[in-house]
Structure 1
Amino acid sequence: MSAVPSPATAATTTSPAPLPPPGKAAQFGYGLGDLASNLTWTTLTAFLLYYYTDVAALTAATAGTILLVGRIADAVIDPVVGLAVDRTRSRFGRARPYLIFAAPLLGVVFVLAFSSPGSGTTAVVWAAITFIAVGISHSLVNVPYGAMLPMLTDDTDTRLKMSGYRFVGASMGLIAVSVAVMPLVGALGGDDRGRGFTGMALVLGTVGTLLYWIVALLCRERPAAAAPREATTRRALASLPGNRHWLGVSAASLVAFVRLGVITAGAVFYAREVLDDAWATSYILLAFSLSALVGALVTPWVLRRTGKRRGVNIGLAATAALYVLLFFLDGQPMVFLAVFLFANLLGGFGFVAAPALVSDTIDHHETLTGRRDEGLLYAGYSFATKVGTALGGSLFAWALAWGGYRADHVSAQASQAIEWAFIGLPAALCLVQAACMALYGLEDRKD
């Protein structure tokens, strides 16, 4: 007996009826989920390393190891959550219950991650436990949120448009983090930076919870088919390697988020030690946020004309070239920020398109196996975002350690390591991401 049902048999038993496009309120409301996500996630990636080294007094090497090992440890929960979503049947739907009930948990552990009850070993253990906890909580919300998109519409253009709205929300979150985090830390903590970071996390965690609840209110999923009894976890997992398009999107997303992790973790160090201006952190993150916002608006238009894979790869090649140019612009801050913004706008095509690409691979997966497995397949993308971001932050932290970084004295070697990590690594990662995209070919074939 075959491990998976044949496509012809499955289509008659599990395929849901075609969905009409959701209304404008639902399309825009869906994007608020990434605004909520980035209020917590971008704050973690951009400021947690700095909090560990300069507030909680952890060494850079210890902090980097916690970021990587902790993220890998909690990322294994993503496929578990994905499988749970695929099997969930409730009066709220399959994905919405997680947004309703897990969002407050995420807010609480986010606050705990920016709190430290002591120093030395106590601080290290607390950091490791809370970092893993906040990652697991993020999975409980973000995997269902991402898996919701193919439950809302079958139309590929609408999916790309909603991915754009989602990235608009992400961009707004990035902008909010860029301009609000350090002022909130100062306003709520004064000279006590530890108290300021905790207060900041309480504010952003609360707002994020409320935004997730709005998404749950506005977005309604397709009626769920009965949970397939024969779809065991082993069979579901075994079917994944056969979907090369999903493998390509997931691998490309992993590399993209390594690049994002390097940029967000490194901005505060690059601004302070290379540009010699701590306030430039906000300018760098704001430029990155604006590139994301503009990219969210133009990416659907561009990719409809170039094709998704081709457009993403053209943007990545241009970004790599522009990042090399940044090596020569650290003495020209305005020109640096302009080139940095344009480079990340082009390099962001893949970020914007990824949710729509994953949704397309879910449709293809149904053709291959007879099951949609929205939760499980989206969990692969979520896993890539978490591990990629953590790996990027860890790579930057290890670069700090290699350069002999010390918070009380930054040597010329440490400053050079920061510059190479912040600029050289993203340039190389763009080329690796483009190579991964070669596996995605749903525009070239219909099987």
Structure 2
Amino acid sequence: MSHNQWQTSLRERISYGLSDGADNLVFQVMTTYLLYFYTDIYGLTAGEVGTLFLIARFADVIESVIIGIMIDHTHSKYGHSRPFFLWYAFPYVIVAALTFVVPPFNHMGKLFWAYLTYLLLGFFYSAVNLPITSILPSLTDNPREITLLGVIRQFFGQTSQIIVAIFTLPLIALFGGKDQQKGFLLTIIVFAVISLILIINTFVHVRERIAMPKPASFKDTLKMMGRNKPWLVLSIVIFLYWVTTSIKNQTTIYYFKYNLKAENLVPVVNAFTAAALIGIVAIPFVTRKYSNKVTMMVGLIIATMGQLLIIAGAEWTHSLSVLFVGTFVNTIGSGMVIALVSIMVSDTIKYAQRQFHVEASGLLASTDDFGVNLGLGIGGLITAGLLAQTGYVANHSQNSATLHMITINYAWIPLAAYLLMIFILALYNQRHVQQVITKNER
């Protein structure tokens, strides 16, 4: 079969992309609002939440590796990755809803419930999300088609993020009125039902058509991972990206509620995240002329410029207009970065197969998942830890140290992370990766 032949149907491409949209309907509520829910509604302290996030995310790193190994050693009539959509979709959405239940327990009982539901949610999220990346090399061996599939995935994933960002707080108010506890629960149930339908739709319509080699032993896989520099570099970039995303998303509601006294503007500023679609849609056109690495680097530079405008709006001009423009520009760049992640992870999988003769698509695909999980855990720990250290008190006016910390978290820490990502990505040798991937195709 020619590597230039398109092998997936339009329906399959859309169904593949909707899988990430499905996961994000639930996942983005967690990353954006769960810290606020736990501190201001559920009744946990910021320190307790920070510890929970850290423990949960480290657990998720281990779980991602386990699920990656499970995928590599799954042999079913549906394939390696595809059956995971069917097996884990239902428990994923059930546990998501249970995470927003406030049980009639004492404080320790509620803390135990939070740990139980959040740890389970992390496992089931990995079980339905990791296969989205691991299945990509088996859908087609056409490089342009892989790029298109990655873009479609991120388009729907980002669309879900926009839906969550814009509509979550209004839906909470619609369903719960002044009872935010009820509003959060009913909102997550709505998102969970839609998510379930879309994940099952993906299982029904995608097909694994490119046979993967027999998976290597765990020992050989570990040796390969230590020598696979492109994978290591990309893993660090993904981790830093999600640390930054976690910090920015979780701090937004605190910044507008306490620093600006304008909580009603949270859906407005979140609406600017729609600009990520501009960056995502640009990927197929930009990558025709420039490499994936260069394109991602451009995205990081644009995101950094936007973050500088956010700092200007927050610290120097105190202008909402500048803040909003900065968010718009930053999100365009972020869209370019995230759209390339699964595509470049797919490259590192093929690189491992041809450079080291090691097949470990499930385990290498876990790069994306454990980068997300560990990044979100560290980001959540930083945010919750700084809130606790500066004397944050939920639903009260905050002291000057807390307000200053919120600004640092919202504006300055993400800037430092973007600059570090640019430095790390510069170490990715795109030319060598492509030479290795294509040498057996000539």
Q: Residue 396 of structure 1 contacts residue 422 of structure 1 at CA under 8 Å; is this kept in 2?
A: no
AA aligned opposite 1:254: F
* 2:289 corresponds to 1:305: yes
* 2:262 corresponds to 1:277: yes
- The structure 1 residue matched to 2:406, chosen from 418, 441, 444, is 418
**Per-residue Cα deviation, 1:316-341 (whole angstroms, up to 9, x for no partner):** 23432432332231432233212211
Partners of 2:297 and 2:211 in 1: how far apart?
A: 36
Deviates more, 1:310-319 or 1:352-361: 310-319
Task: Give the equivalent residue in structure 1 for 2:440.
Answer: none
Task: Give the equivalent residue in structure 2 for 1:365.
Answer: 352
| TM score, norm. by length of structure 1 | 0.91
The alignment-based identity, stated in percent, is 26
Partners of 2:358 and 2:6 in 1: how far apart?
A: 21
Q: Mapping of 1:131-146 within 5 angstroms?
A: 131-146=118-133
Partners of 2:289 and 2:117 in 1: how far apart?
A: 45
**Per-residue Cα deviation, 1:23-79 (whole angstroms, up to 9, x for no partner):** 222122211011111111111000100000001111111111111111111321111
Partners of 2:238 and 2:155 in 1: how far apart?
A: 18
Partners of 1:133 and 1:364 in 2: how far apart?
A: 33
Partners of 2:413 and 2:260 in 1: how far apart?
A: 18
- The structure 2 residue matched to 1:121, chosen from 108, 117, 122, is 108
Partners of 2:302 and 2:133 in 1: how far apart?
A: 29
Partners of 1:29 and 1:313 in 2: how far apart?
A: 29
Aligned-pair distance for 1:281? 1.3
* 2:145 corresponds to 1:161: no
Q: Mapping of 1:127-276 within 5 angstroms?
A: 127-222=114-209, 224=211, 227-228=214-215, 231-276=216-261
Partners of 1:124 and 1:267 in 2: how far apart?
A: 25
Task: Give the equivalent residue in structure 1 for 2:439.
Answer: none
Change in Cα spacing, 1:188 to 1:44, as seen in structure 2 (3 Å) is same
Q: Residue 159 of structure 1 contacts residue 356 of structure 1 at CA under 8 Å; is this kept in 2?
A: yes
**Per-residue Cα deviation, 1:329-367 (whole angstroms, up to 9, x for no partner):** 143223321221112212332211010000111111001
Q: Residue 174 of structure 1 contacts residue 286 of structure 1 at CA under 8 Å; is this kept in 2?
A: no
* 2:320 corresponds to 1:328: no
Aligned-pair distance for 1:444? 4.3
User: What stretches of structure 2 of length at least 5 have no aligned partner?
Assistant: 437-442
Q: Residue 352 of structure 2 contacts residue 359 of structure 2 at CA under 8 Å; is this kept in 1?
A: yes
**Per-residue Cα deviation, 1:183-226 (whole angstroms, up to 9, x for no partner):** 22223223322222122121111111111111112211125457
Partners of 2:269 and 2:431 in 1: how far apart?
A: 35
- The structure 1 residue matched to 2:94, chosen from 96, 108, 121, is 108
Task: Give the equivalent residue in structure 1 for 2:277.
Answer: 293
Q: Mapping of 1:374-389 within 5 angstroms?
A: 374-389=361-376
Change in Cα spacing, 1:256 to 1:107, as seen in structure 2 (3 Å) is same
* 2:416 corresponds to 1:438: no
Partners of 2:106 and 2:320 in 1: how far apart?
A: 38
AA aligned opposite 2:298: I
Q: Secondary structure at the match of 1:93?
A: coil
Q: Residue 313 of structure 2 contacts residue 321 of structure 2 at CA under 8 Å; is this kept in 1?
A: no
Q: Residue 140 of structure 2 contacts residue 210 of structure 2 at CA under 8 Å; is this kept in 1?
A: no
Partners of 1:157 and 1:262 in 2: how far apart?
A: 34
Q: Residue 138 of structure 2 contacts residue 212 of structure 2 at CA under 8 Å; is this kept in 1?
A: no
Q: Residue 81 of structure 2 contacts residue 131 of structure 2 at CA under 8 Å; is this kept in 1?
A: yes
Partners of 2:211 and 2:292 in 1: how far apart?
A: 29
Aligned-pair distance for 1:227? 4.2
- The structure 2 residue matched to 1:63, chosen from 26, 49, 57, is 49
Deviates more, 1:306-315 or 1:380-389: 306-315
Q: Secondary structure at the match of 1:167?
A: helix
Q: Residue 75 of structure 1 contacts residue 136 of structure 1 at CA under 8 Å; is this kept in 2?
A: no
Q: Residue 178 of structure 1 contacts residue 286 of structure 1 at CA under 8 Å; is this kept in 2?
A: yes
Q: Residue 63 of structure 2 contacts residue 123 of structure 2 at CA under 8 Å; is this kept in 1?
A: yes
Partners of 1:443 and 1:31 in 2: how far apart?
A: 28
Partners of 1:199 and 1:306 in 2: how far apart?
A: 45
**Per-residue Cα deviation, 1:72-112 (whole angstroms, up to 9, x for no partner):** 11321111111111111111221111101201110011011
RMSD: 1.9
Q: Residue 57 of structure 1 contacts residue 119 of structure 1 at CA under 8 Å; is this kept in 2?
A: no
Partners of 2:142 and 2:82 in 1: how far apart?
A: 21
Aligned-pair distance for 1:22? 1.2
Task: Give the equivalent residue in structure 1 for 2:76.
Answer: 90
Q: Secondary structure at the match of 1:306?
A: coil
Q: Residue 42 of structure 1 contacts residue 174 of structure 1 at CA under 8 Å; is this kept in 2?
A: yes
Q: Residue 320 of structure 1 contacts residue 427 of structure 1 at CA under 8 Å; is this kept in 2?
A: yes
Change in Cα spacing, 1:410 to 1:84, as seen in structure 2 (3 Å) is same
Aligned-pair distance for 1:114? 1.0
Change in Cα spacing, 1:319 to 1:175, as seen in structure 2 (3 Å) is closer
Partners of 1:41 and 1:119 in 2: how far apart?
A: 27
Q: Secondary structure at the match of 2:84?
A: helix
Deviates more, 1:211-220 or 1:103-112: 211-220
Partners of 1:391 and 1:240 in 2: how far apart?
A: 23
- The structure 1 residue matched to 2:13, chosen from 12, 27, 39, is 27
**Per-residue Cα deviation, 1:4-37 (whole angstroms, up to 9, x for no partner):** xxxxxxxxxxxx9968431222122211011111
Aligned-pair distance for 1:119? 4.0
Aligned-pair distance for 1:266? 1.1
* 2:390 corresponds to 1:406: no
Count of residue correspondences: 429
AA aligned opposite 2:72: D
Aligned-pair distance for 1:393? 2.0
Partners of 1:243 and 1:427 in 2: how far apart?
A: 28
Partners of 1:437 and 1:304 in 2: how far apart?
A: 20
AA aligned opposite 1:83: I
Partners of 2:225 and 2:2 in 1: how far apart?
A: 24
Deviates more, 1:142-151 or 1:178-187: 178-187
